[in-house]
Amino acid sequence: MANTLNSIFATLLVITFSFLCLRELDYYQTQQSLPPPVTVYVAGAVKRPGTVSLPSGARRIHALTAAGGLLEGNDPARLDLAKPLVDGETLLVPGLEQPIEEVPMSAQMESVSTEDIPVELSDSAGPGPRKIGLNTATAEQLQELPGVGPVLAQRIVAARNSRPTGTFATIEDLSTIRGIKRKTTARLAPYLELEAYDR
């Protein structure tokens, strides 16, 4: 009788162990089939800045939620909340006084038009910004201007070269270039100077 009970007990142990092993194997296989999570660093105008890990396919709105949401008074409409996250990127959320061009969301943002970038007016004292020659600057030098990436810099150079004199007559001529509106020209004006173009 004792041998029979021991045999039944041993059989139950084997069955239980086998069941647990199968469950672990199934869980492992399921985890292996899932795409890896994305990890991003959320900084700026959020309640809990820091690194967050989210499932693959997560979007910016999920990262903001994981970081506790925006600080009071900030407008979520300033960000493309539906944009998918890229693993390893930094999501810098601009505050109310911070222009959007300072937010390095991704390298693709370099090709976005700057026409919607708000104009900043400063009354602070002190020397002005270093000026760049509009009629002599290369595309690389133009990229030093706030909000000007490679695409827009090439457009400025192409527009300058296409003019009969090969120069801009005024800084306001920038407003004729696709992707540059008057308010963008006004924002760039303090960083530009108009000088003779040496041929």
| 168-188 residue pLDDT tens | 999 999 989 988 888 888 888
CB contact set of 77 (below 8 Å; sequence gap of 6+): none
For residues 175 and 193, what is the distance between their CA atoms, to the nearest angstrom?
16
For residue 171, which of 129, 123, 132 has the smallest C-alpha distance? 132
Mean pLDDT along residues 5-13: 74
pTM of the predicted structure, to 2 decimals: 0.38
pLDDT at site 91: 84
pLDDT, tens only, 53-102: 988 888 888 988 898 888 876 667 667 888 899 888 888 887 655 544 44
For residue 156, pLDDT over 90 is answered with yes
Q: Where are the domains of the chain?
A: 1-34, 38-105, 110-199
For residues 138 and 8, what is the distance between their CA atoms, to the nearest angstrom?
85
What 3-state DSSP class applies to 171? helix
pLDDT at site 197: 47
Helix ranges, the chain (H): 2-33, 60-66, 139-142, 150-162, 182-188
CB contact set of 99 (below 8 Å; sequence gap of 6+): 117, 118, 120, 146, 147
Considering the segment(s) 110-199 as one domain, its CATH architecture is Orthogonal Bundle (1.10)
pLDDT at site 120: 40
Calculate the alpha carbon distances from 174 to 21, 177, 178, 192 in Å.
Answer: 69, 6, 9, 11
194 is written with which tokens? 């108009």
106 is written with which tokens? 């991704």
